[in-house]
A and B are shown apart, each in its own frame.
Chain A
């Protein structure tokens, strides 16, 4: 990969950022909806934990997750690929001088940057100012941002697999629902993993989902070792990249045969 390739990728990211920006007002309304969902979760947990230290920690945990949902869980289905398969524009993607994986990554990167600025930050600020969410200790800000970025990359690969699924099977309804189920249950977005039985926690930590949501937020709260977080996340990134790369080659080869 050359330096100019990166710039080409950034150009893709810029375009998807601009495309999202058109709907800023809609997204701001959506943010209020997201805050209401966060508020519901917070009230449920305060009802069971009370105004204890544990309850206050749960508020921070839930709302930091809520702000991050638009970066790691609610991202465009299959990284835009199913839509492209559906309307046929995937053919143009194949003509581009760079791979599908590369294209999808940068296209999503622009979207994520947009979501970070116009969804995550407003939701987070509201949570801090109105809902009593604690700010992280100064030393935890950078570790949080790094683990969050790693989480985004892991989430990208999982969603990219859904995109690849659409190349193979066209429909993604079932696999998307399966992703919703696993994400809901295993990411820790709505329930802190410590409330699961120990054996279930052990299984979850062997899957990639918790590294997108639970781990960054636990780092934010100083409850998870940064070194352990980074090693596990990087391992997942390497594994997922390898699978994504080889699957892309295999599937796009098939597509070329069908197209020809």
Chain B
């Protein structure tokens, strides 16, 4: 009987241990995801607006960018960790297979835990939508396209930065500079930055084309419907650029391999 109780106690302790870890895991991931937005919210609760943009409007910008980034991290983690493929030499095996290399790299790792990031973006976005009034109801038809555009731009930026590894080998820090920081910058209105910086985010790493410009129209800050076309320009430019850089990267890699 004593043995039974000892074993029971040990078993209970083991379960409680893992349950505790499980609980902390859920809590940590939930809170961690909202940390960045919470800082924005705290600033805007105190100061009401940033360059004329209220919290729910900034929430929309944040949600569009984070949705695209979250989906990219979900399905495109292979680009994010591309240096591992290059440095370990595993990239060679991808070149031999009869499937486009880009697709193979993209699907190299599906990172399901990034679903949390996508859900978080949706929660923040829904909250923003609820509080906003739009000039017309076309927003609801336009929004899915905008979210898709955000995913595409995020993926294309990541392809360009991943391709840098063909030249530099390691590229994690280039990704932090070129993607993480610019994506954070694009969740705030362009007018708070110096002109050069906002031009970079419009023309070079064009995150503003899917966040700031379309929302200028839908938040009633501009009645110019031209802004609704900016995602298209962003995607066309980035598709050409990413395809060019990726191809020349592969060419360079092949030539170093032979």
A residues whose Cβ falls under 8 Å from a Cβ of B? 23, 26-27, 29-30, 32-33, 36-37, 39-40, 43-49, 168-169, 171, 173-181, 184-185, 190-191, 195-196
**Stretch from B30-38, B96-104, B131-139 that touches the partner:** B30-38
Knowing A23-B170, A190-B39, A191-B42 are in contact, say whether A36-B29 is a contact too (CB < 8 A): no
A251 to B21, CA, bound (A): 16
A29 to B17, CA, bound (A): 41
Q: Is B27 in the interface zone, CB < 8 Å from A?
A: yes
Q: Is B7 in the interface zone, CB < 8 Å from A?
A: no
CB within 8 Å: A-B pair count: 103
Partner of A184, one of B36, B170, B192: B36
B residues whose Cβ falls under 8 Å from a Cβ of A? 17-18, 21, 24-29, 31-36, 38-39, 42-43, 46-47, 50-51, 113, 170, 172-174, 176-177, 180-182, 184-185, 188-189, 192-194, 197
A178 to B34, CA, bound (A): 11
Contact assessment for A171 and B25 in the assembled complex, using a CB-CB cutoff below 8 Å: yes
Inter-chain contacts of B29 with A (CB < 8 A): 173-174, 177
Contact assessment for B176 and A30 in the assembled complex, using a CB-CB cutoff below 8 Å: yes
Contact assessment for B21 and A47 in the assembled complex, using a CB-CB cutoff below 8 Å: no
Q: Identify the closest chain A residue to B53 (Cβ).
A: A47
> Nearest Cβ in chain B — how far from A176, in angstroms?
7
Closest 8 CB pairs of A and B: A174-B25, A177-B32, A178-B28, A174-B28, A33-B177, A177-B28, A181-B31, A48-B47
Knowing A26-B170, A174-B27, A178-B31 are in contact, say whether A184-B17 is a contact too (CB < 8 A): no
A23 to B168, CA, bound (A): 12
> Nearest Cβ in chain A — how far from B188, in angstroms?
6
Q: Identify the closest chain A residue to B39 (Cβ).
A: A190
Give 29 pairs: A residue, B residue, CB < 8 Å, sorted on A.
A23-B170, A29-B177, A30-B176, A30-B177, A33-B173, A33-B176, A33-B177, A33-B181, A37-B181, A40-B181, A40-B185, A44-B188, A48-B50, A171-B21, A171-B25, A174-B21, A174-B24, A174-B29, A175-B28, A176-B32, A177-B29, A177-B33, A178-B32, A181-B32, A181-B35, A184-B39, A191-B39, A195-B42, A195-B43
> Nearest Cβ in chain A — how far from B179, in angstroms?
9
Inter-chain contacts of B33 with A (CB < 8 A): 177
Inter-chain contacts of A176 with B (CB < 8 A): 28, 32
Contact assessment for B25 and A185 in the assembled complex, using a CB-CB cutoff below 8 Å: no
> Nearest Cβ in chain B — how far from A6, in angstroms?
34
Contact assessment for A195 and B192 in the assembled complex, using a CB-CB cutoff below 8 Å: no
Knowing A23-B170, A174-B27, A174-B29 are in contact, say whether A44-B43 is a contact too (CB < 8 A): yes
Partner of B50, one of A27, A37, A44, A190: A44
Contact assessment for A36 and B181 in the assembled complex, using a CB-CB cutoff below 8 Å: yes
Inter-chain contacts of B25 with A (CB < 8 A): 171, 173-175
Partner of B192, one of A26, A44, A168, A175: A44
Inter-chain contacts of B50 with A (CB < 8 A): 44, 47-48
Contact assessment for B32 and A39 in the assembled complex, using a CB-CB cutoff below 8 Å: no
Inter-chain contacts of A49 with B (CB < 8 A): 47
Q: Identify the closest chain B residue to A49 (Cβ).
A: B47
Q: Identify the closest chain A residue to B51 (Cβ).
A: A47
Knowing A29-B173, A174-B29, A178-B28 are in contact, say whether A169-B21 is a contact too (CB < 8 A): yes
A178 to B30, CA, bound (A): 9
Q: Identify the closest chain A residue to B184 (Cβ).
A: A40
